[in-house]
């Protein structure tokens, strides 16, 4: 699974490293946050050299981080549109009907919910989507969640 590794830019800090280190299932991580029908998640992340794909999903229930069912039943799923290089800020802001994704302040996509979530969203899933070994993957420096009125 994912590991905490030294931050590439900040001594004494750590980042979550998500990749596909071998031919087994890719890394996945799940974070539970307060349920919100309207909310926003902001992630600070970076693709490392060799990055072969990743995705972010929002859901209303817990699935094993490496279980593909989690993406199939996620309310919103976004392939990470990042390339190795600098840090990025990915924002996902949702209502009961749709989600708006921005990267570094630029609109990426607005998409409708695949499933209704009458009790709100409460799970963030991060996964490598590499089809083969990907030692680079991506790292997550921080995640911030805000419930919106």
72-92 pLDDT per residue, tens: 899 999 999 999 989 999 999
- pTM for the whole thing? 0.95
**pLDDT tens digits, 139-149:** 999 999 999 99
Task: Quote the tokens at residue 43.
Answer: 């992630």
Mean pLDDT (the chain) is 96
Length of the chain: 149
Instruction: State how far the Cα of 134 lies from the Cα of 2, in Å rounded to an integer.
Output: 13
**pLDDT tens digits, 41-56:** 999 999 999 999 999 9
Confidence of residue 107 (pLDDT cuts 50, 70, 90): very high
From residue 141, give the alpha-carbon distance in Å to each of 14, 16, 42, 112, 115: 7, 7, 11, 28, 29
112 near 98, Cβ under 8 Å?
Answer: yes
């Amino acid at each position: 699974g994912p590991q905490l590794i030294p931050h590439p830019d900040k001594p004494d800090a750590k980042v979550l490293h998500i990749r596909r280190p071998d031919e087994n299932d890719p890394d996945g991580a799940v974070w539970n946050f307060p349920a919100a029908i309207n909310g926003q998640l902001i992630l600070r992340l970076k693709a490392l050299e060799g990055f072969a794909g990743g995705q972010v999903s929002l859901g209303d229930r817990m699935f094993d981080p490496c279980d593909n069912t989690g993406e199939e039943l996620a309310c919103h799923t976004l392939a990470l549109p990042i390339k190795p290089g600098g840090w990025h800020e990915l924002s996902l802001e949702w209502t009961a009907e749709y989600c708006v994704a921005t990267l570094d302040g630029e609109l990426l996509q607005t998409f409708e919910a695949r499933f209704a979530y009458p009790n709100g969203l409460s799970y963030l899933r991060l996964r490598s989507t590499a089809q083969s070994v990907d030692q680079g993957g991506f790292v997550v420096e921080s995640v911030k969640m805000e419930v919106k009125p």
